[in-house]
Amino acid sequence: MSDLQIVADALRRARHLVVFTGAGVSAESGIPTFRDALSGLWQRFDPGELATAAAFRRDPALVWGWYEWRRAQVLKARPNPAHLAIAELARHVPQLTLVTQNVDDLHERAGSPAVIHLHGSLHQPRCFDCQRPFTRLAADPQEPAKGRRIEPPRCLQCGGPVRPGVVWFGEMLPEQALQQAFAAAESCDLLLSIGTSGVVYPAAHVPQLALDSGAVVAHINQQAFAPNSPREHSLVGPAGELVPALLQRAGWQ
Ligand code: OAD
C-alpha cells in the first residue's frame, strides 16, 4: 500500500488530528521559506542583523523596514490549496488542532479558526519597551523595497518603539501556545507535519512528541524524510497537491 493511502486511512480513523505547519505550506502562495537553497530568506539575509532584540536595539529602522517588507508580501498573497485543504479537514475529523510556526495569516484567511502561532505574527506588533499591543498598523502598508529602512511607529502609551510581534532568535516562545501545542501532540492519534525543515526548537519537538505518544506521523514535504518508526511516513511533493490528494483519498472531496 502506498504511504499516501496509509496516511489517508489513518486520517479517516483519526479522532484528534494535529496539523503542524512551517514555511513550506505558504511557499506556493509566493511567501519565501527560510532555508530553501536558492529562495530561502536566511540564504539572502543575516538573521543576526534582522531577527534578534539586539539587532532591533542597534538599528530599529532596518529591522522594522524588513518586517514591513515581509508583511506587505503576505498581504498581497492568497491562501493556496494546502491552506484551503487544511481548513476543509476540520469539517471531517472530530477534533483538529492547527499549530503553525508561520507568522503570516494565510491559515486564518483560508478559514481555519483558533490557529496556534508558535512564532508570533507579523500582524500583531507590540511596544518594545512596555509590551503593550500596537493596534494602528497600516492596513495597506507602503511596499518598502527589501532592506529599506523605515522608522518604527511609537507606542501610544509610553512612546517606546514598536516591534514586530514575532519571536526572535534567543526569545522564549509564547508559553500558552507552546503548552497547547505540546498537549495536543501528546493526545492526538495523527499528526501531519507540513512544509517544515524541523530544525528550530522547541517547535520541532511537536512531531516527535506525537510519535513518542503513539500517534501516526506523516511528513509532507518537497524533500524526503527518513522515517525512524513504522508509524512515521514521508509524502514527498508540494503541499498544495498532497494535502488535497489526502482529502480525496480519504473520500472527502
Ligand atoms: P524552513 O525554510 O526551514 O523549511 C521549509 C521546508 O518546507 C523545507 O523542508 C522545504 O523542503 C519545505 N517546502 C518548501 N516548499 C514546499 C512546498 N511547496 N510543499 C511542501 N514543502 C515545501 O521553514 P520552517 O521549517 O518553517 O522562525 O522554519 C522554522 C523557523 O525557522 C521559522 O518559523 C522561522 C525560521 O527562523 C522564526 O521566525 C522564529
For 170-213, give the DSSP string: TSPPPHHHHHHHHHHHHH-SEEEEES----STTTTHHHHHHHHT
Region 59-75 average pLDDT? 94
pLDDT digits (tens, 9 = 90+) for 191-206: 999 999 999 999 999 9
pLDDT digits (tens, 9 = 90+) for 203-220: 999 999 999 999 999 999
**Cβ partners under 8 Å of residue 183, min gap 6:** none
**Ligand 1 pocket: which of 36, 102, 106, 234 to mutate (most atoms within 8 A of CB):** 36
Q: List active site positions.
A: 119
143 pLDDT band (50/70/90 cuts)?
A: low
- Atom 30 (ligand 1): residue with closest C-alpha? 200
The predicted pLDDT at position 123 comes to 96
145 pLDDT band (50/70/90 cuts)?
A: low
Tell me what the pLDDT averaged over the chain comes to: 95
In order of start, what are the domains of the chain with their CATH numbers?
A: 1-29+78-121+173-253 (3.40.50.1220), 32-76+126-163 (3.30.1600.10)
* Cα dihedral 107→51→61→53 (10° resolution): 120
Q: Check: pTM over 0.75? Answer yes or no.
A: yes
Ligand 1 centroid–CA 232 distance in Å is 19
Does the beta carbon of 222 lie inside 6 Å of ligand 1? yes
**Cβ partners under 8 Å of residue 169, min gap 6:** 47, 48, 51, 52
Ligand 1 centroid–CA 35 distance in Å is 6
